[in-house]
Each structure stands twice: as C-alpha cells, then as structure tokens.
Amino acid sequence: MIAGKPIQTHYLEAMVAVFRHLRGERGLLGLEIMNEPTYGSLPPPRFERQQMWPFNLRMIEGLRRDGERRMIWFGPNIMRDVVDLDSGRPERFSDDGNLVYGPHVYTGTFNEGGPPELEASYAAGIAEAKAYDAPMVDAEWGGGSDEKAEMMRALKIELQDRFRVGSAFWMWKQRPGFYDWHTVNEDGSLRQDSMRAQQLSGPHADRVPGRIVSTGVEDGALRVRARGRGGKARLWSGTVVHRGGETLLDRPLIRAFVDGRRVRPTLVRKVFATEKVKLRGFRVHLRVPAGDHEIVLKPGQPRWVKGHRAKGRWVKGAGGEPPPRGR
C-alpha cells in the first residue's frame, strides 16, 4: 500500500489521467501499458499468467470504463529483446478487440544474431501476435552505426515491408557517444556516418483503404497491393536530400499508377530547411477503388503541387503540365 492505495490503483489512475489529457489529440494512436515489463520472483510463463496478464487486464478494463476507445498496446517480458522469442507462451488473455502486441525486435543489437535470426524473430513475432489475437508492431528498435548495424537496419526495413509490420524507431537525441543511436546531430544536421535518417524516411504507404496485402520498394518504385473497401490512400514519396548529406533518392516517387493505369494524385509538398540541411518530399493522395488493386509510385520531376495558399486548387510548381486523368 502507498498513501492508502494499492500501487496498481495508483498506476491505473495515472494512466487514466494521461489518457484524459490526451483525449483530443488526433495523432495519438494509443498508450502502452508498460515498457519492457520485467519479471521478478516468478519466471515465465508463470509470471505472465499470475502477474502480468492480470495486471494488463486491470489496466485495459479500467481505461475502457473511463471511456477510452483508442488502441492499447502491450508487450512481452523484457527477455524477448535478447532471446527473440516471447517466453511467456502467448495465448489470448483479453476479449478487447483493439489491442496491439508490441515486442521490441533488437536482434543483432542486444545479441549476436544476424540476418537469419532477424527474419526468424519477425516470423516468431507474427506467430505470437496471432496467439494473442492482436496485430503486431515492432514497437521499439534502434542501433549504432557500425557496418553490421547499418546492414541490419536496411534488412529490418525490408522485413517490415515483407511481414507488413509497422515500427517505432528509438530516436535518442543525446550527444554522440553512449549507445550512438541518435538519428540526427544536435544542430539538426544529418549524420555523415549513417544513412538512418534517409532510410527511415523512404517511400512508404501512410494509409491505404482496406487491407495491405503486400508492400515494398522494388526497382526504384513503391508497390502496394490493397484489398477491400475503396477510399483515399496517402503515400509518402520518400525524402530527397538537396543539401547537407547524401541522398538515397535522386527524385521523389510522385508518378502514381493504379493497376498499371496512370492517375493524377494530389501532391502536398513538405520541406525542411535550415542552414545545415534542405530536405523535400511529398504526400501523395489518391483514390483507390474497392476490390483488389496495386498502387505504384515511380520517380518523377515535381511539376504541380498543392500549395498552402492554394485553397485546394492546383498551383504551378516547377513548370510543365500535370498529366491528364487516366494517363
């Protein structure tokens, strides 16, 4: 007991207070119950069944009673960071339909694993999520800038596409040294010893109506196959570095095709510029019919962009004419 209440009661009240404060934030996906829970006197899987899952249920039910409807994230015990497997023997512990399983895939960072072990860790994570009856997100990952770390980071992004898994990169912004995980330098400039910023801002789908069947960048083009209801899709062209470092893309991916047919997207330009860097990319908006369709973005020279003062009208960018509809 602490101040007359069990410690878990205090914990739930704190979570409720945070959720209430952030309830109006549209960009908030949800809240994780606890980061990397650590077992004590009870080893897995007894820890999960006797302590962690009952605790998770209490938090989930308390938040739902308070009116919270967003996603609630949970993770395995901390040892999965090292052994690449949830030793808690996953099974469904909640009937809540809006949970997310968020392991931290640190293969090759906190152990000696290489590419085969990394792929196996993702495959295991998908199986664990299925046992929990929840989608999986690689909720935390990162690493240094040595040759292996650079190789593993590129492979991990490819595997996230292959397994259709979202992720959250751990962006520590401390001074160089320590873990050496910072994404950019203190002054906002790009690291010259790592391409992590360019990799993490590569072409991808932000949102797609229906279900993503497959996604990935191949032969310089972003390909996304979606199935289900139609609607608006938003994709990212990839970031082009114009000043301040090497660029992985010479041109943004802004020419859009649906099932091989050229379509006219709406482009919203995003620019970040300082004395150190100048970066540019585009949000690509387009409509996708209902059914099974392939969306493809190919490199293009920006010609028409939607300006902040255009009030939704097409305004001239770098010259030229936009492609006719259907071409």
Give the model's confidence band at 326: pLDDT under 50 very low, under 70 low, under 90 confident, else very high: very low
Tell whether the model's pLDDT for residue 30 goes beyond 70: yes
CB 323 within 8 A of CB 302: no
Tell whether the model's pLDDT for residue 318 goes beyond 80: no
- Judgement on whether residues 188 and 217 belong to the same structural domain of the protein: no
Rg (CA), the chain: 22
- Judgement on whether residues 179 and 270 belong to the same structural domain of the protein: no
* Residue 235 neighbours by CB under 8 Å, 6+ apart: 203, 204, 205, 206, 208, 222, 224, 253, 283, 284, 286, 295, 297
Of 150, 183, 200, which residue sits at a domain end?
200
pTM, two decimal places = 0.88
- Domain carrying residue 74: 1-200
Of 200, 223, 244, which residue sits at a domain end?
200
Give the whole-angstrom CA distance, residue 182 versus residue 184: 6
* Residue 327 neighbours by CB under 8 Å, 6+ apart: 262
257 phi, psi to nearest 5 deg: -135, 140
- Judgement on whether residues 174 and 224 belong to the same structural domain of the protein: no
Mean pLDDT of 38-44: 93
Q: What is the pLDDT of residues 131-185, one digit of tens each?
A: 999 999 999 999 988 999 999 999 999 999 999 999 999 986 666 666 788 888 8
Please tell me the predicted confidence (pLDDT) of residue 197: 94
- Judgement on whether residues 267 and 220 belong to the same structural domain of the protein: yes
Tell whether the model's pLDDT for residue 311 goes beyond 70: no
Report the candidate in 200, 166, 203, 199 with the shortest Cα–Cα distance to residue 295.
Answer: 203
Of 168, 200, 232, which residue sits at a domain end?
200
Structure tokens that stand for 183 in this block: 């994404």
Q: What is the pLDDT of residues 54-86, one digit of tens each?
A: 999 999 999 999 999 999 999 999 999 999 999
Give the model's confidence band at 316: pLDDT under 50 very low, under 70 low, under 90 confident, else very high: very low
- Judgement on whether residues 47 and 139 belong to the same structural domain of the protein: yes
- Judgement on whether residues 196 and 209 belong to the same structural domain of the protein: no
- Judgement on whether residues 31 and 105 belong to the same structural domain of the protein: yes
